[in-house]
Each structure stands twice: as C-alpha cells, then as structure tokens.
Chains A and B, each alone.
Chain A
Amino acid sequence: MSTPLRDAAVRRLRTLGKHTGEGAIRRLTMDVEVDGRVEMVTLSMRDDRLQCVSSDAQNDGPHVLAALEFIAGIELREDSAPPGAVDSAGGLSGEADAWGELAEALEDLVTAVARVGVAKAQYAPSVDAALERVIAVAPRPTPAGLGRFIGRLQRDIRLGEARRAARMLEGASQLVETLRASTPTSDSQQRLSAWLGARAASISSAQLLYDRTMIEVGREWMTGTERASVERRYIVDIESGHIYREDRPRQALASLGPCPRQLQVGLAEVETGASPARIRILQYEVQPEVPTENWKRLHEVASRSFAEVSDGYRRSVDAHPSLSEPFALIAPYRIERNGVFKAFDADGHQLVLNRSERRGAVLAFYDLLAQGAEPSWLAGRLTDQGTTLCLTPFALGTRDGTYMRL
C-alpha cells in the first residue's frame, strides 16, 4: 500500500524537530482510496472497543482494512507478523460470570420490592441493599441504560408511582431472562445493548445514517445513579420525521451547539432499541440558526394522528418497559384552551399536557397561550397518567414560524 501521507507526516515531524509525549488519540477520520474509490473511514474507541465505520457501510471492507493497516503501521514493517486472532476465551468466561451475577442482583431487587411493596420500598433496607448490589456488580462506569433504570425506579418509588415502578421492574425481569439465556436472539441482543451498552451485545445493531438534516428541538438532564448524570438532546430528522436522542454523559463530549440548532449530519450511528433511538453523531456541521423553511418542514413531518402516537407509545413501552421514554412531535388539528389545554387530531382524539413533570415549562406554555400564541406543532416527551397519554412539553412552533424552547 502506498503511504504518501505517512511519509509526509514523518518529513513534517523531522522539520519541526519537536516531540511530545502527551495526547491520546480517541478518534480518527480519514479518506481512504482503494481501487480508485475514496471512502471516509472513522476509527474510534468506544467502551474500550475499537469501532470501525466506513461511508460505504462495509465496516470490514477494504477501506477499513487499509485504514487499520495504516494505523498499525504494518505496511512499513516487513518483518512484523500480521496481527493474530486474540484469544478471547478467558474474557468471555469472565463476562458470563459477571452477567450471571448482575442477573442475580437484579432478580434480588425485583423480589425485594415485591416483598415490601412499593409504598414502603423507599425506606426498606433490603431494597437499598439490593440497589447497591446491582450498582456494585454492574460494569464500570455504570452503563447508561442501567443507570437510567435505577434513576427512574428510585423516582417512581419516591413519588409512590406504584404502577410505573411495576413497569420498571418488569423490564428488569426481562433483562434477567436475557442475561441467563443460552442462545442470543436479535431481540435479546437489542435489549442487552440498550441496557448495558453496545459492548454487551455480540451482534452490532447499529445502523448508519449519511447526509441528513436534523434539528434539535429540546434537551434535558436525566437522572441516573446520580442526579443529572446524562444530558439528553431530542433531534428530529426533517426528511423522515424520525426522532432520535443524543445522550451526553456528564464530563463527556457529544455534538456541540445550543438548543435549538440545525445539524448537517455527514455520518451518524443509530442504535436500535428503546425509543427514541439513540444516535451518535460522528460527522456534522452545526448551525445555531434554523432557517424558517426548516421549521415549516418540521411542522410537515409532525404526527397528525394521536391514535398512532398512542399505539406507538404502547408498542415502545411494551418492548422496553424500563428504558423506553418516547418523544413525540405533534401537529394538532385544533386546540382547546378554556382553562385546560387539550390538543385534538382530525379524528377527535385528544392529548393533554403532563402537569407532574417540568411544571415550570407547563406554566410557561399556558402563559404563551394566554398571550395569544397559536401552536402549530408541539414537541414533548410522552408519559401516561392513569389511563391517559400525556405530553411533557419541551418546545412549540407557531404558525408564523417561531420556535419557543420551554
């Protein structure tokens, strides 16, 4: 393989005559030419594993191989042996033990809550001990999915939301089953990936996206094992209307920019799993100003049928009871504002606001309505209260193309 870039780099280093022992390379993006075809390859370390992504979607194709050889410096060392297969038998066995221990800890947690009841779980030493054990046996740092489950369960127990706590624990039971299963299925792999990160799943379920225009419509800090441990951004693809979440753990990096913003995404990875799907934006350009026509486009792709929103919510929570936190972009057919806000679709189905979360945002929304704002679309997280599907508002767009973050 020809390596003009490496040769040029060596020459530049010699010219500079400087050396630094500092710096760790975490991600490399390069244009690789093989057989006259140029593809963009990104190599990055995630959860201590090497991730290779190529713009031709062949993640083990010739462009990725060429990039790996370049990084390994193989082409320069004729005497060096090609890298052999890593003996991973020991690692796999250790991992199986760890998963077994985690399954046992989660089962203990489920049983502990069932024994004392949700009403008394907040002050029950057995529940505390079980939670501590789950955290102790989980991989370090605590995977985002597991952390979010713990945060949500503790909140539901604290607020006495028995039915939601039951849903959380049902999700944990499903994970126990998955961890103990001898043969992996695509569903079980998806579940493992959602709870414990991509590293836990043996089959990669990531899907690649190229050249998309996306708009971030809202963001919030989520509670995990600690308060405000993950910043979640809600991003809408203005072509398809798909909604993604970008999770930025505290002290970690994610895509830059304020909310709202427009992203020209060159390359992104989407994980299938709990709704909204998690996106990792790898190559992007950011525009803090969103053009008016794209706000209009957002209105065009918003959901108009609340029955479909409701069905989607049920399906999503059914698949991932503990981790699913669906987000919706709705365009109401009409709204009612006499005292209480209600949004209606063309079939007469209605959607109300959730008043138990983000109370300030709900109050501000009512203030805007009182000032005469005419929402043409509304973005928010879906929840259920009793038997009613509710929306916790994050943003709204008005008929004159104005966006308001709540």
Chain B
Amino acid sequence: MAYDTKVDLDTLGLFLHEGIASSEHANPRESLGCREDADDAEIARRLFQIIASSDLARIGTESIHPEAARHPSVRPPTEVAADPSFLGRLSTSGSSELTVERIDDLPTILAVLRAGSRRQRRAALGRLAQRLRDRRLLHTDAVRKAIQTINELRDVELGHELALVRAELPGASGRKARQEHDEWKRLAQSVEDLIRVFWDGQSSVEPIHLMPGDQRALLLMHIPELPDLAVQHINAIIEGNDGGAPLESRVGLLSSLRFATDIRLVPALISVIESERGALVASASRVLGGIDDARVHPALAERFERSFVTEERIALAGALGMHGDCRGLAEVRSCLEEGQPQTLLQALEAMESLGSSENTDLVTPFIDHADVSIAIQAVRTAARIGDGRALDVLTEKYNTSSVPAMRAAIEDALSAITARMELRGEEAVTIDWSEVGQKPAPRRGSRDSLPAVVLGWRDYFMGRVWLLFGRMTWAIVRFESAAARRHDWAAPLIGIGMTFARGEQYALALPAFRRAIELDRTQIERNPILVRAMAKSFLRRAEQVEREGRDDVARGLVGEVLTLDLRRAPGTVRFELRRKHDVLRREGTDDVHSAA
C-alpha cells in the first residue's frame, strides 16, 4: 500500500470521522486526487486506502504513544464500602491499616472467623494458624479456646484451609487431620495416574466424572495442592476440550469447585463466562467470586453488563459482590421483592455477599418460607448480613421449627450475628441456649420387660461378635432379632444400618437408619461416625438412583437427609449433598438434564 505523502492527512481524518457526505469545508474528490465525476464508492476506496497506508507506515516511527504507556487502571475496591464498621473496613491483605494480618487479639480473630465474609474468615484462619505456631502461647487459655474453636468449626467454605490448620494442631485432632490428608494424597495420586492414562489414549473414561460425589468433593477441596497435570485436566473439562464431557458434567464439575481458590483455574473459568450461557456461566461465576485474582473482576463486570439471562445475572451479581462491586444489588433486591420461586434461592445466596443491614427486612420474611431449602438459605443470608434485628425472628423460628437442619442453621446464624455485633462494638447479646428452643422431649420410659431387655442385649452382643468375625448376614439377623425384642431401642437398628453401609448396600441401609432416626435422632446427629455413615448412605443411594434416571427419587433422598443436623458429618459430604440438592432442584424447575 503506497500513498501520496502530499495529501493532507488531517483533512482525510476529518472525512473519515465525519463522513464524506457531510463535508462542508473541503471537497473530498479534490483532497483525494480523484476525478470530479468519481462516484462515492471510488472516493471511499481511495480514502480508506490512503489512511490505512499512512497509519501503517507510521508504526514505530515515533516515540511511545502516551496512551499506550499508561498503567492499566486502578483496580476495583475489594471490600464493600457501604459498611463503615470495623468488619466493613477490615481488609484481608495489603497495606491498609485495618487488615486481618495485623490483628493480634485472639478473641477478635475468633469473632472474625465466625462473623466475617468468606475472604475475611479465610484470612482470620490463616492468622490464627500463624498465632498457634507460636509455641510460647500454646498453654494459654486463649489458645486452648482457639484450638477448640478450630476443632468445632464446620465451615465447608473453608474446607481446605481448615484441614491445613488442623493438621498443624497437636494431639488427636492433629493426627486425624494428618491421616485424612495422607488419604487425600493417595486419592490424588491414583487420579493423577488415571488422568495420564486418559491423555495417553489408553482409556476413554474420564476419571473425575466417574468418582463418587463425596470423593470428588474431597479431591477438589484440596485443589491448590493438586499437581499441574490434574488442574490442567480439570481446565480441559471446564472449557469443553476433553473430547467427551457433556454439558451436565461440566456444570457438575463447576459446582464441585464452588469454594476453590486456585488461580490456575481462572483462565478456563473466564473462558466459560466469556463464551457460554446459562447454568455454565452461573456456576463459573460463583467459583470466580471466591478467587482473588486481578483477572476476575473485569471479566465478571463485562459479562454482567451484557448478560440478559436472570440466572446468569444473579450469580454474576453475587460474584461481583464478593469482589466489593455492588452493581447488581438492585436487581437481586427486585428478585426478592417479586418472590419468583425459580430465582429465590439464587437471589438469597447472592444477598450473602451483597446485603447490608438495609436488606435485613427483605430477607427475614423468607425465614418462614414453606420450602425448607429457601428458609435455611434465608437464615444463612441473615447470618452473613449480621444485623441484630434478625435475632428475634431467628429465635422465634428456632422455638417453632421441628426441622433439625433449620435449628442447626439458626444456631450457627445466632453465633455469627452475636460475633458481628461484638465486632461492631454493639451490646453483646449472650444467648442462653438452655432457654432457647424446645427442650428435647423426655425419653419415654422403657416399657420392655426384663427378659426382653436381657435377650435384646444378648442378641445385640452376638451381632457385634459376628461382625467382628466378618459374618455380616449372621450379625444382621441378630440385630434384627434385638430390634424386634425392644421396639424403642435404636442401637440394633444403627448396627444394621452401619453393617449395610460398610457393605455398600445403601438401599438396605436406609430403612434401618430411618427407623433409628425415628427412635433417637439426636444419638445419630451427635455421633460423628454415625452421622457420616448415614449421610454417605443417603448420598450414595441418591447417586445410584440418579444413574438409573430416577431423578425425583434422588431429589427426595437428598432433601430428606438435608433436613437433619449434619454439622458433625464431614464437610465434603455436606458440600456434596448441598451441591447435588441444588443441581437436582434446578433440574426439577428448569427441566434440564441431570447436572450432578
């Protein structure tokens, strides 16, 4: 492309900008050296040719253009500016005066751990771990309390960080955490080997998709420790470049990554929100909301501005809220005001990161919602907003609700709200749990005769003995016999449930667990081993029936177990149950194929 250097480029620039038709001061034909009778097509051609040539010839001939040499731009605020309180201004990193890293006072760190945003809680946990490394403080009361808090914490959102901190603790809990981590390492190694086989072309079976839900949740909980190969494989599935993953397994994997913080996932997740639609974008944006990386906010904001699908917009608004950008608040508010059943759960979830005390009145009515999932989510949202005005509503609900999961969520919420009030310097409210809620119903006195009790114990004992010898069938016969002799005794039923669960006969374990729950729910809920086996049985059975295409039955099973107080079940099982419940629920409302 050559051009006549005598041509006045400024005039041509004006033609280019304003158009040749509206030119009043110069004649484009003359300026471009065209004939007087040249038509517009010829003039256009000449104009673009000259400008393109001159433009190209100038590249690299002058000093750096000031616009090109400017620093990108100031990044968005990372905290919600609307809350001027201590917690509202508490930064998780950086040089700000008020950062979690600078807090030395253990009670304050513990309060942030209960009441803060996900980022603040994560930072508080890190800070707590730092403080616990100081051996001089190990035998103080404050540290003992901190260790107790860490052991009691059942926050699935902080699963990875919690496991790391627990592994550093002294004593039995530390040993248990280290043992669990070793199990994870073995699992990760076997998955890595399978991934290698998959990409070598020796197997067409994608290994992560086929894993049982709780195992997959466990594997992905520690994603920052996974080798690059495994993370790359996950990225390939997320982007749809593994050669076979259907849409539903991509959505399933994304929802399993819900609380992942690994920045190696960011490019693939951004690629999804740039190029996909609907459930994929919503799931990917929920993951991105929790990742601290400079690439995340611009991508979320850009997608939010051009998205018109409500499901996407609410998820994006929530994710932006986690990055301190509240541009989607009005839309989430209007979703709650309209009360559309399809979007209620997502809107309440988004409100966790967007809401402030101004939104308490909007959220609290949903605590009485007929749908338990929505009511529990409203409780969680109220806990994250942390407004003291919600205390009365929550206490009242606690007294009237008979759903164990609801009561457990309210207990956590009350604790979070009081911690937040404490951090705000408000009058600390001490909740007397002996006065709150229904008292446990007094156990009915045994109506069994003495011979029935003795024979029942004999059968139960024999059942345990057979179990020791590995004779499952004989043991179950004995347990059945014990249960038949004493109708209000849960122990033999639990024995049956546990035996079937160990033998992976989940369909047979469920009736036994159900009968045991009917007789003595609290015994199961308060025993970590029992609650783990029971929750896993429900989860695995739900996966089995789902594979058979009976999604409604799977939904029923997951919904049933989620009404129980599962706080003592492993975080990965709770996470997977909630994930599956969300996915099956969406499938039920949107008529999308299973994404679990």
Contact = CB atoms under 8 A, between A and B. Distances in A.
Contacts of B306: 227
A352 B268 CA distance: 26
Contacts of A166: 16, 47-48, 51-52, 55
Given A110-B45, A228-B275, A256-B236, A339 B299 contact: no
B210 interface: no
B58 A387 contact: yes
A167 B293 contact: no
A211 interface: no
Contacts of B53: 170
A363 B295 CA distance: 7
Interface stretch (A116-124, A201-209, A294-302): A116-124
A362 interface: yes
A219 B268 CA distance: 10
A170 B1 contact: yes
A258 B69 contact: no
B241 A390 contact: no
Q: How large is the interface on A (under 10, 10 to 19, 20 to 34, 35 or more residues)?
A: 35 or more
Contact of B41 (A107, A354, A367, A405): A107
A173 B68 contact: no
A385 B47 CA distance: 20
A352 B48 contact: no
Contact of A385 (B43, B65, B201): B65
A366 B195 CA distance: 33
Contacts of B195: 288
Main secondary structure of the interface of A (DSSP, over half): mixed
Given A359-B72, A363-B298, A364-B293, A406 B275 contact: no
B56 to A, nearest CB: 6
A74 interface: no
A173 B45 contact: yes
Q: How large is the interface on B (under 10, 10 to 19, 20 to 34, 35 or more residues)?
A: 35 or more
B48 A116 contact: no
Nearest to A167: B52
Contacts of A364: 293-295
B65 A259 contact: no
B155 interface: no
Interface string B27-62: 000000000000011011101110111011111111
A53 B22 CA distance: 55
Interface stretch (B227-235, B344-352, B454-462, B519-527): B227-235
B75 interface: yes
A257 B199 contact: yes
B294 A115 contact: no
Given A110-B48, A388-B65, A388-B68, A115 B19 contact: yes
A360 B51 contact: no
Interface in A348-385: 349-350, 352-355, 359-364, 366-367, 384-385
A389 interface: yes
Contact of B268 (A113, A258, A285, A390): A258
Contacts of A231: 271, 275
A360 B297 contact: yes
A220 B299 CA distance: 13
Contacts of A317: 56
Contacts of A385: 65, 67-68
B533 interface: no
B243 A170 contact: no
Interface string A230-264: 01000000000000000000100000111111000
A167 B1 CA distance: 11
Contacts of B449: none
A360 B72 CA distance: 9
B358 interface: no
Contacts of A387: 58-62, 65
A310 B16 contact: no
A287 B44 CA distance: 50
Interface string A199-227: 00000000000000000000111000001
Nearest to A403: B228
A360 B294 contact: yes
B589 interface: no
A35 B61 CA distance: 60
A115 B20 contact: yes
Interface string A284-325: 011111000000000000000001001001100110010000
A114 interface: yes
Nearest to A117: B19
Interface string A136-153: 000000000000000000
A27 B462 CA distance: 66
Interface string B7-23: 00000010111111110
A219 B53 CA distance: 30
A321 B52 contact: yes
Nearest to A354: B68
B41 A110 contact: yes
A167 to B, nearest CB: 4
B239 interface: yes
Contacts of A321: 1, 52, 56
A340 interface: yes
Contact of B68 (A163, A285, A310, A390): A390
A32 interface: no
A166 to B, nearest CB: 4
Q: Which of A117, A287, A318 has the most CB of B within 10 A?
A: A117
A162 interface: yes
Contacts of B21: 115-116
A29 interface: no
Contacts of B268: 258
A272 interface: no
A6 B13 CA distance: 68
Given A221-B274, A350-B64, A261 B232 contact: yes
B59 A389 contact: yes
A114 B44 contact: yes
B148 interface: no
A64 interface: no
Given A384-B59, A386-B68, A170 B52 contact: yes
Contacts of B72: 353, 355, 359, 362-363, 366
A192 interface: no
B429 to A, nearest CB: 42
Contacts of B70: 340, 355
A114 B232 contact: no
Contacts of B40: 111, 114-115
Given A258-B236, A258-B241, A310 B60 contact: yes
B68 A114 contact: no
A219 B297 CA distance: 20
Given A258-B236, A352-B68, A286 B199 contact: yes
B61 A114 contact: no
A113 B43 CA distance: 12
A167 B51 CA distance: 8
B69 A162 contact: no
A388 B239 CA distance: 34
A169 interface: yes
B267 A406 contact: yes
Contacts of A384: 55, 59
A227 B17 CA distance: 26
A-B CB proximity, top 7 nearest: A117-B19, A386-B65, A114-B44, A360-B295, A363-B294, A228-B275, A258-B236
Interface of A: 107, 110-111, 113-120, 162-163, 165-167, 169-170, 173, 219-221, 227-228, 231, 250, 256-261, 285-289, 307, 310, 313-314, 317-318, 321, 339-340, 342, 349-350, 352-355, 359-364, 366-367, 384-390, 405-406
Given A114-B48, A387-B58, 20 more contacts: A110-B44, A115-B44, A117-B15, A117-B16, A118-B17, A162-B17, A166-B51, A169-B44, A170-B49, A170-B53, A250-B275, A258-B236, A286-B199, A288-B232, A289-B229, A355-B71, A362-B72, A364-B293, A387-B59, A388-B65
